[in-house]
Structure 1
Amino acid sequence: MSVSVVIPCYRSARTLPTLVNRLTSVLHDLSVPHEVILVVDGSPDDTWKVAEELAHQAGPVRAILLSRNYGQHNALVAGIREAAFQVVVTMDDDLQHLPEQIPLLLAAIEGDHLDLVYGVPHDEEHGFLRSLASRTVKACMARALGIRSARTISAFRAFRTHLRDGFKELAGPHVCVDVALSWATTQVGSVEVRMNKRVDGRSNYTPRLLLRHAANMLLGYSAAPLRAASYLGFLVGVLGLLLGGIVLWRFARGDTTVAGYTTIASMVALFSSAQLTAIGVLGEYIGRIHGSGMGRPAYLVCQRVGSSGSVEVHRPPDGAMLRPRAGVVAGSGER
């Protein structure tokens, strides 16, 4: 088994040196061919300068600079497409995901014959609102997108590199790696991992951005909002019939002789709201089709440092097992 570790980087100039040092130490101990790919997502600080220095100094490290900030998932896709080895591991750049836990992911892939494994933290290290927003996003993916493993999804994942062939045509600004991976396999598992608190700065994923991400997934990868608009129209129609029946019944009984302004105004407002909601959903879909037609790229690479050809390779003897540090479980035998 050979491993490519892909890390999207944004405002992480202080954490990258420590992260890369720990990563290379863990991967050396595993005695597997490996590389570390740092994808700098248009970070405004010195992240690119640090990543470039690490690519020159830290052995099997490659640095990729995107022309602007495209978002975490777009940066991940850029790194995944650059990966040269059999298994891709993705992780955050803030030291919350522990490099020492990578052998657990690799062991699960190899030992359980899985294609995709998520590292699920024992305890969430985020606040209440952030955790609630994250659970909302996962619920949307599970119900609307039909991804059964959605509730175990995390940014700390490992998967077989050939899965990227299932989304090689993926383009546009609204990219979601987990949805794309769900297109390629159903052999998905998870393992519990430890997760540290963020050591520097704060997360760029606010509850608002997480909910926006959920909306992007629903509108970009599912027809559920269109169905919801149809259901809304049906329910409003039933409600309109009920209101009409009530008005006719009261008129027949002589309870009213003049059509009530309140009833009419309420019905007009109700139907107008349903129509505007449906038009808004249709407009979102049409806007995305228009955006795709313009050919807007998912990302643009403007500079690379290092190459897969210069990656230092450490190959284990034939038939050898993965050899992690003491206390870390590993799998056996390549699939």
Structure 2
Amino acid sequence: MHNEAQNLTVFFDRLCHVLEPMGLSWELVCINDGSTDDTLNQLLALRARDTRVVILDLSRNFGKEAALTAGLLEARGDAAIPMDADLQDPPELLPAMVDQWRAGYDMVLATRSSRQTDSWLKRHTAHWFYTLINRLSEVPIPENAGDFRLMNRAILEALRQFPERRRFMKGLFAWVGFKVTSVSYERPERLAGVSKFNFWRLWNFALEGITSFSHVPLRMASYLGFAVSSLTFLYALKVILDTLIYGNSVKGYPSLMVAILFFAGVQLMALGIIGEYLGRLYEESKQRPLYFIRAYYGPSLPAHAQNSFDT
């Protein structure tokens, strides 16, 4: 949760209304990801009402992937379901997800049947992203399935074994495998507030996904360099033949400048691709923790307090 104070009471009431008739033992793990509004006070009020609310108050805003990791590491149950607090992940879908889990599935995806609540640009860029990453990655990532999903204990334990800091959680969920099914739903509008993901953050998120699960861009840079070099060699032969056989003089500076600028652009693009991967190696080599917990409100110490790499 990041600045979701307006949504919390309604979210909790709807969640309880769905969960109580199911007869399950449950807890609600809330990650306050550096909120600057009244989110923490609202969470503390909810915990005063119901001690099944567990709160991890992070020391600052570490981002969605780190906060999601904190919640999954803290989850103690036989299964866990990540949810956004803005009610775009409707609690009313939980019984259907639990039914599929009880039927023997390890992971139950909540798949959007349409993206009508998104803008035209977001709908199409999301489709292009999934098309591109599934062509480049060896592990297919389901389209229109976000973090809203049920995962059993085996998957949660598998996710504990990933040491990387730069995380693309949708890719990690797909990478672990296991027996997967899905249920479809219509994603509603946010109850209140605005999305924290603008176009620039979504662009960086897409780059993170591609560079996390594919090295094809590096290979493409090599292929492009080879293709350009081959074309350059053929063009050089043409210039020589024009001069020796036909007596045509070599063309002047405009063509020369075009060639220089073109090759410079290709080189910079290749360096940029290499830089993306080199930057990931640099971040991973520092071995910094994923996040810090400023305060914990729960029945005992955090479930993952012994893992030095993530607390």
- What is the TM-score with the length of structure 1 in the denominator? 0.83
**Residue matched to 2:15:** 23
Output the amino acid matched with 2:68: L
- Contact 2:112 2:145 (8 Å CA) reproduced: no
Quick check: 1:251 aligned with 2:243?
Answer: yes
User: Aligned in 2, Cα 1:258/1:240: closer, same or farther, shift over 3 Å?
Assistant: closer
Deviates more, 1:154-163 or 1:245-254: 245-254
**Cross-structure match for 1:69:** 61
Paired residues for 1:35-50 under 5 Å: 35-50=27-42
Runs of 4+ with deviation above 4 angstroms: none
Q: How does 1:107-122 map to 2 (within 5 A)?
A: 107-111=99-103, 113-122=104-113
Bigger CA drift: 77-86 or 165-174? 165-174
Most deviating of 246-255 and 265-274: 246-255
Deviations 1:53-82 (A, max 9, x none): 212212411111111111112111100000
CA gap 1:65/1:92 in 2 versus in 1, 3 angstroms: same
Residue ranges of structure 1 left out of the alignment (5+ in a row):
1-8, 310-335
Q: Paired residue for 2:279?
A: 287
SS of the equivalent of 2:31 reads strand
Q: C-alpha deviations, 1:91-115, integer Å up to 9, x for none?
A: 111111210111112222332x322
Separation in structure 1 between the aligned mates of residue 237 and residue 71 of structure 2, nearest angstrom: 61
- 2:141–2:171 CA contact under 8 A, matched in 1: no
Q: AA paired with 1:119? A: A
The counterpart of 1:160, out of the listed 144, 148, 152, is 152
Asked whether the equivalents of residues 6 and 193 of structure 2 are also in contact (C-alpha less than 8 Å), the reply is: no
Does the C-alpha gap of structure 1 residues 193 and 183 become closer, same or farther in structure 2, counting only changes over 3 Å? same
> Which SS does the other structure have where 2:191 is aligned?
coil
The aligned amino acid for 1:226 is: L
**Which amino acid in 1 is paired with 2:69?**
V
Residue aligning to 1:197: 189
The alignment status of 1:224 with 2:201, answered yes or no, reads: no
Higher relative contact order (CA 8 A, sep 6+): 1
Q: Residues 28, 259 of structure 1: CA spacing in aligned structure 2 closer, same or farther, 3 A cutoff?
A: same
1:171 to 1:69, Cα distance in 2 relative to 1, 3 A: farther
5+ residue gaps, structure 2 = 302-311
Distance of aligned partners of 1:261 and 1:207 in 2 relative to their CA distance in 1, 3 Å threshold: same
TM-score (norm 2): 0.89
Corresponding residue number in structure 2 for 1:6: none
* Contact map agreement 2:140 2:174 (CA 8 A) in 1: no
Percent identity over the alignment is 27
In 2, the alpha carbon distance for the partners of 1:129 and 1:94 equals 22
Question: What value does the CA root-mean-square deviation take over the aligned residues?
Answer: 2.1
Structure 2 CA distance, aligned partners of 1:255 and 1:303?
81
Distance 1:21 1:56, change over 3 A: same
Change (3 A) 1:255 1:132: farther
Q: 1:134 maps to which residue?
A: 126
- 2:44 is matched with which residue? 52
State the alpha-carbon separation in 2 of the partners of residues 109 and 250 from structure 1: 72
Residues of 2 paired with 1:260 and 1:19: CA distance? 70
Task: Give the letter aligned to residue 137 of structure 2.
Answer: L
Indicate whether 1:178 and 2:170 are aligned: yes
Q: Which moved more, 1:241-250 or 1:77-86?
A: 241-250
How many residues in Structure 1 have an aligned counterpart in Structure 2?
300
Q: Does 1:265 align with 2:257?
A: yes
